Chains A and B, each alone.
Chain A
């Protein structure tokens, strides 16, 4: 893309949670869910964020919409620093950043009708009232593949896939620029997932949306994203254009992650699956060094001592690994 315009820039974002500490220990312990990550999202693109459970990908999404107060770092939206602005000022940005949640059963208020769920954003952010409001809601419903008649119903009358559609209608109601999709399809059946993904792609084209797509299903992330960031224990390990990442992963963790994906084709016998030993380390007060070092087969002394920086190894391909050049013969 020639005219790349940065919409969202994350600089050294940190989010620590205090862990309940015992009475004898005086030192507080921190769970470092997100520990200094940086990336940019360009206008009109889909940025995928992948990683295993507990790597901080959802926390990142939630910190961007300020559902969590970031512990440190900067969130720059359309050229303006929105990290520490007051809730009142934030209201302006809430209209531009919307979110779709993972669990379609928990993210819709069971006591509100569909019209009220979708219309709530309109009431807060716009002056659309009365008949025009209803018309807009009907329009949104048809846009996400539901019917006008559904407006007066309650969430329990819908299936999981339909509920996720309602969640999407709510998110696009006030015409945002950026939608943060936090695992929008992982609670859905395989045949329904494709419906929702196709719809997200159509809406992006029609409305010029930008997505931050958070998921652990790597094949789906590859399908939908232009660029992908791989996270591990609160750190960003690799960022690259999606095809490049899948064809030429440079970080040892990305390599292992990609080779673990089961391929739905019995005849494609994959050579050299990397089965990782051990489990993910605890995110509570992690020690210095590369977070992946304990499971990495290339690990050297330096990896346990110095935390690697995310550096541009190839054009538009960022990797945080001390040994990246050696491993990949660059």
Chain B
């Protein structure tokens, strides 16, 4: 399989009057064609900024400071806005978190969808409308011929999110970025939306990147995942490996702090002490070191290299180092990931 997306050493900062906020700090990852990749992290971990950087939507005072983004064999991080407009919506589409505010209230769903289709494809208005109705049917909106003339406020939250997915898919993009697609929705609606996204990924051969803070969503929809903290990638690998053999204390902390449905009643949760780091003035070493139960001297001084646990599973933690003290469950003495 070939790579649809490659992000190399990406750093994005926001230059505010308080100083430089380093939202994303030197991250590298890649995505295979047809993959569903999940990015998980707390608020302020840089997951949304990573997505916006890929879309080329970082606005003043933000700036991509360093790094390269390669999409489908083409470097897109150096493209100007005009060139990006040809890619955005056609090759890469995005679904935003809040379906209530990200649709323009003065346009009907038809206006919205036909605009996107006609901008990127040379088709007549009639044909564009046909495509739009077809996509709405695909995401499960009943009577799409009628409902396409509705305004966003006439739709419920779940329907708006479906309309947004339909719009995002209207040009059959190669990559779909979904930034917290179900956070604002109820669980029963969330189940509907995730079902649709999984179905579409296999049907129209789109790669999907899902950004979320819900580990359950990742476990049920994704094949690969990335765990971010303080603007850095802590761990990445297949969902199965990370859930069953997490090799980073932050990933473990995250998993321990959500209650398990099969656990006995009132089994105590194990929270992560402290609070996330200040990105205006990020700690010199590992951003998690101040909350980590296994933190050592070196953790506060220097960020750990990325160790390769197995093919495709990496962890940036000193505990993997050969000289680190033994902690149960961690695989020691792995090589440093060269790529």
Contact = CB atoms under 8 A, between A and B. Distances in A.
A interacts with B? yes
Interface of A: 52-53, 159, 161-162, 189-195, 197-198, 201, 216, 218-220, 222-224, 242-243, 246, 256-257, 259-267, 273, 275-276, 279-280
Contacts of A265: 219, 243, 260
A267 B192 contact: no
B219 A263 contact: yes
B106 interface: no
Interface string B149-166: 000000010110000000
Nearest to B192: A275
Given A194-B269, A256-B188, A261-B261, A189 B219 contact: no
B190, B194, B243, B257: most-surrounded residue (chain A CB, <10 A) = B257
A316 to B, nearest CB: 15
Interface string B253-265: 1111111110101
Interface of B: 42-43, 156, 158-159, 186-192, 194-195, 213-220, 239-240, 243-244, 253-261, 263, 265-273, 275-276, 291
A264 B257 contact: no
B219 A216 contact: no
Q: Which of A218, A224, A275 has the most CB of B within 10 A?
A: A275
B305 to A, nearest CB: 25
21 contacts: A159-B275, A192-B275, A194-B269, A195-B272, A197-B269, A201-B268, A219-B259, A222-B265, A243-B265, A257-B187, A257-B188, A259-B191, A261-B216, A262-B190, A263-B216, A263-B261, A264-B258, A266-B244, A267-B240, A267-B244, A275-B188
Nearest to A218: B187
Chain A, interface SS category: helix
B258 A219 contact: yes
Contact of B216 (A194, A224, A262): A262
Contact of A260 (B156, B190, B215): B190
In the complex, which of the residues A189, A198, A218, A224 has the most CB atoms of chain B within 10 Å of its own CB atom?
A189
A193 B257 contact: yes
Contacts of B244: 266-267
Given A264-B216, A267-B240, A275-B192, A195 B273 contact: yes
B190 A194 contact: no
A191 B239 contact: no
Given A195-B273, A260-B190, A190 B220 contact: no
Nearest to A282: B156
B243 A266 contact: yes
B269 A260 contact: no
A191 B257 contact: yes
B187 A190 contact: no
Pick from B217, B263, B269 the residue with the most CB of A within 10 Å. B269
Contacts of A243: 265
Given A191-B254, A266-B240, A279-B156, A223 B269 contact: yes
Contacts of B271: 191-195, 197-198
Contacts of B268: 198, 201
A201 B156 CA distance: 36
A275 B271 CA distance: 32
A263 B190 CA distance: 13
A190 B261 contact: no
Contacts of B43: 189
A259 B216 CA distance: 12
A216 B190 CA distance: 13
Contacts of B191: 259-260, 262, 273, 275-276
A279 B192 CA distance: 10
Contact of A264 (B188, B194, B215, B291): B215
Nearest to A199: B271
B239 to A, nearest CB: 5
Nearest to A192: B275
Contacts of A219: 216, 258-261
The 4 closest A-B pairs by CB, nearest first: A262-B216, A194-B271, A194-B257, A223-B259
Nearest to B215: A264
Contacts of B258: 190, 194, 219, 264
A159 B214 CA distance: 21
A201 B261 CA distance: 18
B158 A279 contact: yes
A184 to B, nearest CB: 14
B188 A161 contact: no
B216 to A, nearest CB: 3
B42 A191 contact: yes
B253 A191 contact: yes
A195 B269 CA distance: 8
A191 B272 contact: yes
Given A189-B276, A191-B271, A220-B259, A266 B158 contact: no
B20 to A, nearest CB: 21
A48 to B, nearest CB: 12
A265 B217 CA distance: 10
Nearest to B291: A191
B187 A189 contact: no
A219 B253 CA distance: 17
A161 B272 CA distance: 12
Of the listed residues A162, A224, A262, A276, the one surrounded by the most CB atoms of chain B closer than 10 A to its CB is A262
Given A192-B275, A224-B266, A260-B188, 16 more contacts: A52-B188, A161-B275, A189-B276, A191-B272, A193-B271, A194-B272, A197-B269, A198-B271, A201-B268, A219-B260, A220-B259, A262-B214, A265-B219, A266-B240, A266-B243, A266-B244
A192 B198 CA distance: 30
Given A197-B269, A198-B271, A266 B219 contact: yes
Contacts of A195: 271-273
A275 B190 CA distance: 9
B239 A266 contact: yes
A97 B226 CA distance: 44
